[in-house]
Amino acid sequence: MFYTVSDLIKQSQDYSSVAELMIVTEMENTSRTREQIFALMERNLEAMEGSVKEGIAGVKSVTGLTGGDAKKMDEYIAKGDFLSGQPILEAARNAVAVNEVNAKMGLICATPTAGSAGVLAGVLMAVRDRLDMSHEDQVNFLFTAGAFGLAIANNSSIAGAEGGCQAEVGSASAMAAASLVIAKGGTTEQAGYAIAMTLQNLMGLICDPVAGLVEIPCVKRNALGSSQAMISADMALAGVKNVIPVDEVVETMHRVGQQLPSMFKETAEGGLAVSPTALRLKKEIFGDDKK
């Protein structure tokens, strides 16, 4: 088992790929066979595909606070007249779609959490045809992301209640960036730089859910996570390095997470959650707080 991102990069040299190292590690840690492990991951991929498709078609959340934005973005992209590029817009659209489905109690695959589930699925569905990825390539994309995600999770956190949004969307974005680099033919070192750049850019992002719900700002934060993942991957592939080593950045995110006041860690007691509009919405949805 690997512990840090550097361990992972080093150990993966003895295997054909990061995904292969992850599968072998999983076989060692559980009593599952390669076929069982692969089938489990295929099921995750299937859920991701389903949620992207469902969200783009247009959904509305249980509370009515979110939904329909992925559909708008899809129509905007279809017109072909936009500022940024098509792949990055599609990634953001997909990411929004997944989290809109999440908010309406639809089926999603948590990566690493439900609140950040759009990021990885979003980028994968945006690049898979462009990179001519086979079904197996796509499943391996998830094993690669999971491997880098484990190294982040074990040295920091992936829960908003522990580390803020940087731990959820930040971690999701970082592992997506790393997997994108590998899928595009980059090196594991470049994947490490992509993680470092991503976490560095999302450092300090607070978790401030309006009315305590996984809707505002969570849905749009997934657009941020997916687009940053694409930019970080492209920068790393361009040869851009990061001065602060990746494991020090992960460690820093952990430290910052601990230092964040609890009002910024999923308690809905700070940030956007206490804006006048948020407080009004909370009252409308839940009624007065009878204490």
Regarding 114 and contact with other proteins (CB under 8 A), the answer is yes
* Residue closer to other proteins, measured from CB, 86 or 258: 258
**Distance between first and last Cα of the chain:** 48
Among 157-165, 188-196, 238-246, 250-258, the segment contacting other proteins (CB under 8 A) = 157-165
Q: What distance in Å separates the CA atoms of residue 83 and residue 100, rounded to the nearest whole number?
A: 24
Among 9-17, 22-30, 74-82, 240-248, the segment contacting other proteins (CB under 8 A) = 22-30
Residue pair 178/119 in contact by the 8 Å Cβ criterion = no
Binding-site size for other proteins (CB under 8 A) equals 56
* Residue closer to other proteins, measured from CB, 143 or 193: 143
Determine which residue in the list 67, 112, 122, 225 makes contact with other proteins, applying CB under 8 A.
112
- Minimum CB separation of residue 63 from other proteins in Å reads 6
Strand partners, 265: 207
Among 103-111, 220-228, 253-261, 270-278, the segment contacting other proteins (CB under 8 A) = 103-111
Regarding 214 and contact with other proteins (CB under 8 A), the answer is yes
Among 24-32, 78-86, 220-228, 249-257, the segment contacting other proteins (CB under 8 A) = 24-32
Residue in the block written with tokens 């974005």 = 173
| 236-241, long-range: CB < 8 A, 24+ apart | 236/177, 236/181, 236/186, 236/190, 236/191, 236/193, 236/194, 236/197, 237/181, 237/184, 237/186, 237/190, 240/193, 240/197, 241/193
Determine which residue in the list 58, 87, 106, 204 makes contact with other proteins, applying CB under 8 A.
106
- Residues 6+ away with beta carbon under 8 Å from 219: 66, 69, 96, 99, 100, 103, 118
Measuring CA to CA, which residue among 149, 121, 103 is closest to residue 48?
Answer: 121
- Minimum CB separation of residue 279 from other proteins in Å reads 14
Residue in the block written with tokens 């950040």 = 116
DSSP string of 201-220, one letter each residue = HHTT--B--GGG-SSTTHHH
Contact letters for other proteins, residues 165-194 (x by CB under 8 A): ----------x-------------------
Residue pair 173/136 in contact by the 8 Å Cβ criterion = no
- Minimum CB separation of residue 178 from other proteins in Å reads 12
Interacting residue ranges for other proteins, rule: CB under 8 A: 1, 3, 22, 25-26, 29-30, 37, 40-41, 43-44, 47, 61-63, 101-115, 117, 120, 142-143, 145-147, 149-150, 153-154, 158-159, 161-162, 175, 211-215, 285-286, 289, 291
